[in-house]
Homo-oligomer: A and B are copies of this chain.
């Protein structure tokens, strides 16, 4: 297959968007990405979204968005893998262009959550868990993550406060991202004293929902503009794996097998190891998820995720910077859009556009997007030059 480059990116600020439909949000990001890549069209559009049908009365987002952005008649499709829907769309677009089936494709992740009743959103989000064996028993996503975090603390001897650096790093970085939902640093005291949601998860462990869209334009790498303001950003690898949908079906609930497998696929494709990765946009929907993801992908020993964070290694100046633009925690987590925000942010880092949170000499960036409580995980590696 041919090599593919990301030549354009676009994103809307993650916030409450009561005045804009899914169409308007997605359109803004797509048109930005096309303009950024110097194109007016793409052969296909791949849309990542999760709750459009339940919360916005709109499915069929491929045709819906294609026409709006001037791509009427182009192929268009909507992909869904719960919270990793954005990356699933990116991966489908990537394969379409790499294979030669399409000569260009735009991917957009979009979600609009804040002007629906809270109960409707909670119900919609719960469709990512196992309806028969989790949701119907009363388990919500935050509860599932609380159970994981509690068990993790028990097994490895950490206290709640040891997870603070994940949240503090994300919020510190979000300050400098104009598209982040929250742009205030938080203190240790804020972290420890925040309202409990589901013991031990408090408000500062949980990412906020939000409305937003992020998009990327993919073309064969040999068609990427040369001598631009930044190096060509190539997609070096794409890996995807699943795990049991219900957490209780996994032999080891504290090990994200799908994160490990998709990352290993990606490392092998790119002939890289974790040591080669300059930054990692991690799926910190909850502190515990950031921690488990770092372990399963080879950046921390098992049970030692909090240690990596406490040693400041996850900051922009550390060994493996994560959430460099705020992550899910501070940039926000508009479910089906999140994976595309991660990709866009990695591109920004590799272009050297991240100002105060720029990772020095960033050449290789990784993004990992987690669907459900670890049941559908997609990992991409991008490379500058």
Q: A residues engaging B (CB < 8 A)?
A: 1, 21, 23, 44, 50-54, 56-64, 66-67, 71-82, 88, 92, 95-96, 98-101, 123-124, 126-132, 135, 240-245, 249, 257-258, 261, 371-372, 375-376
26 pairs of residues in contact across A and B, judged by CB atoms under 8 Å: A21-B131, A23-B132, A52-B127, A53-B124, A53-B127, A57-B126, A59-B80, A59-B82, A59-B128, A60-B80, A63-B243, A63-B375, A66-B242, A67-B242, A67-B243, A67-B245, A72-B244, A73-B241, A73-B243, A73-B258, A76-B242, A76-B376, A77-B92, A80-B80, A95-B95, A99-B99
* Chain B contacts for A96, CB-based, 8 A: 95
* Chain B contacts for A77, CB-based, 8 A: 79-81, 88, 92, 240, 376
* Chain B contacts for A50, CB-based, 8 A: 53, 59
Whole-angstrom CA separation of A74 from B257 in the bound complex? 11
Tell me whether B53 and A135 are in contact (CB under 8 A).
no
* Chain B contacts for A244, CB-based, 8 A: 63, 67, 72
Tell me whether A101 and B67 are in contact (CB under 8 A).
no
* Chain B contacts for A376, CB-based, 8 A: 60, 62-63, 76-77
Whole-angstrom CA separation of A98 from B98 in the bound complex? 11
Tell me whether B75 and A242 are in contact (CB under 8 A).
yes
* Chain B contacts for A52, CB-based, 8 A: 127
User: Which chain B residue has the least Cβ–Cβ distance from A58?
Assistant: B131
* Chain B contacts for A21, CB-based, 8 A: 131-132
User: Which chain B residue has the least Cβ–Cβ distance from A246?
Assistant: B67
Whole-angstrom CA separation of A56 from B249 in the bound complex? 21
Whole-angstrom CA separation of A274 from B59 in the bound complex? 32
Distance between A86 CB and nearest chain B CB, rounded to angstroms = 12
* Chain B contacts for A58, CB-based, 8 A: 127, 131
User: Which chain B residue has the least Cβ–Cβ distance from A66?
Assistant: B242
Contact flag A75-B245 (CB < 8 Å), given A60-B371, A375-B63: no
Q: Is the interface of A mostly helix, strand, loop or mixed?
A: mixed
* Chain B contacts for A82, CB-based, 8 A: 59-60, 63
The 9 closest A-B pairs by CB, nearest first: A99-B99, A59-B127, A63-B375, A75-B240, A60-B82, A63-B242, A58-B131, A78-B80, A63-B376
* Chain B contacts for A245, CB-based, 8 A: 60, 63-64, 67
Distance between A265 CB and nearest chain B CB, rounded to angstroms = 9
Whole-angstrom CA separation of A258 from B52 in the bound complex? 24
Whole-angstrom CA separation of A125 from B126 in the bound complex? 21
* Chain B contacts for A123, CB-based, 8 A: 57
Distance between A138 CB and nearest chain B CB, rounded to angstroms = 13
Distance between A296 CB and nearest chain B CB, rounded to angstroms = 13
* Chain B contacts for A75, CB-based, 8 A: 240-242
Distance between A63 CB and nearest chain B CB, rounded to angstroms = 4
Tell me whether A372 and B63 are in contact (CB under 8 A).
yes
Additional A-B contact list (11), CB under 8 Å, known A51-B53, A77-B79: A1-B100, A44-B240, A53-B127, A57-B126, A60-B82, A60-B376, A77-B88, A77-B376, A92-B92, A95-B96, A98-B101
Tell me whether A249 and B101 are in contact (CB under 8 A).
no
Contact of A95 among B60, B99, B241, B375 (CB under 8 A): B99
